[in-house]
Amino acid sequence: MITAFAPASVANLNCGFDSLGLALEQPGDKVSAIFNNDHIVRIVQITGDGGKLPLDAAANTGGAAVMALLKALGSKQGIDLQVHKNMPLGSGLGSSAASAVAAAVAANALLGSPFSKKQLFPFVLAGEAVASGSEHGDNVFPSLLGGIVLIRGYEPTDVVQLPVPQGLHIVVLHPNVEILTKDARNILPKQIPMKDGIIQGANLAGLVAGLYTNDFGLIGRSLHDVFAEPYRAPLIPYFDKVRQAAMYGGALGFGISGSGPSMFALCDSQIRAKQVAELMQKALHGKGIAFETYVSKINTTGAEIVANDKA
């Protein structure tokens, strides 16, 4: 049996809707893969999901990713998967992506690594599509590769790993309300005004330039979202209050993690990130909202094999 870990991820980073994401050190999901003799992909166990995720392999992000992988190989090999969820579902932390990635990485290793990480792209995208209804890669690619990832395009897939400035940390606060990516995408307008396209494009360029030049000021000034935040922020309890707290604490920038409800703050050091996390927590104190907070540096390793009992 081979077990892979795949980290949570923060997609969009405000100005990079569907095209930017980064990986956290923790939390993350683990998936174990083992051969079966029945020529099918089976989800034999899911833990940590409160019974919410489908055991039907084709409807499960991990199962769908492994089925796509086997199909590409033309293989009839059967594989059993055990999925261990270690993060909240529907949280904006790339939970569905982490399971798809961990499953693909574990199955690939079990099969003798016929694919490189980059060759796994279509399979993890297929897994993500099962959960969110669209093949966006801003969670799956950072979770797979680690670091801060730009998806320049999909036809063909063009993925750029961006530099991670020394000291960069992220705070993620997950309030316990569930927002499904599908729903959060459906409320967005299908078209945007030219002026918003210009603002978003300029900020995305600013953020990328800031990452290449270690310019924390430029990174902070670029962390704005005029595409999705105006529509999604009202779904998140006390979004403005938590933002105010993070910015008061010296965060570089603040926004919605993926499609929410998690909120993130980027910080220039671990010390600052811890201070910002405390202030964000205080902002929700006594409001009757349960939440978890994660403080993490950027995970530059991505998904990896954590146990191999094959030998």
Footprint of ligand HSE (CB under 6 A): 11-12, 17-18, 132, 136, 138-139, 181, 184-185, 228, 258-259
**CB nearer ligand HSE, residue 132 or residue 275:** 132
Measured from the CB atom, the residue of 23 and 279 that comes closer to ligand HSE is 23
One-letter amino acid for residue 106 of the chain: A
Residue 37 Cβ vs ligand HSE, minimum distance, rounded to whole Å? 36
Nearer residue to ligand HSE within complex by CB, 228 or 273: 228
Catalytic residue (choose from 3, 25, 128, 229): 128
If the CB atoms of residues 139 and 275 are measured against ligand HSE, the closer one turns out to be 139
Task: In angstroms, give the least distance from the CB of 146 to ligand HSE.
Answer: 17
Identify the burial level of 172 via C-beta atoms within 10 angstroms of its C-beta, where 0-12 means exposed, 13-18 middle and 19 or more buried.
Answer: buried
Collapsing DSSP to helix, strand or coil, 98 comes out as helix
Least separation in angstroms between residue 98's CB and ligand HSE is: 11
Backbone angles phi, psi at 238, to 5 degrees: 60, 30
Q: Which of 97, 136, 113, 124 is nearest to 228 (CA)?
A: 136
CB atoms near residue 162 (< 10 Å): 17
CB of 139 to ligand HSE, least distance (A): 5
* Least CB distance to ligand HSE at residue 8 (A): 11
Residues 6+ apart with CB under 8 A from 88: 95, 174, 176, 292
Q: Omega of the bond prior to 142 within 30 degrees of 0, cis?
A: no
Q: Is 3 a catalytic residue?
A: no
Indicate the SS3 state at residue 226: coil
Query: Which SS3 state, helix, strand or coil, does residue 236 take?
Result: coil
- Determine whether 128 is an active site residue: yes
Smallest gap from Cβ 255 to ligand HSE, in A, equals 11
The sign of the torsion formed by the CA atoms of 214, 220, 226, 232 equals positive
DSSP state of 213: T
Nearer Cβ to ligand HSE, position 100 or 283?
Answer: 100
The smaller minimum CB distance to ligand HSE, of residues 18 and 215, is found at 18
Contacts of 106 (CB under 8 A, 6+ apart): 2, 3, 4, 31, 32, 33, 81, 305
Point out which residues pair with 295 in neighbouring strands. Answer: 171
Catalytic residue among 3, 25, 61, 181: 181
* Catalytic positions, written as ranges: 128, 181
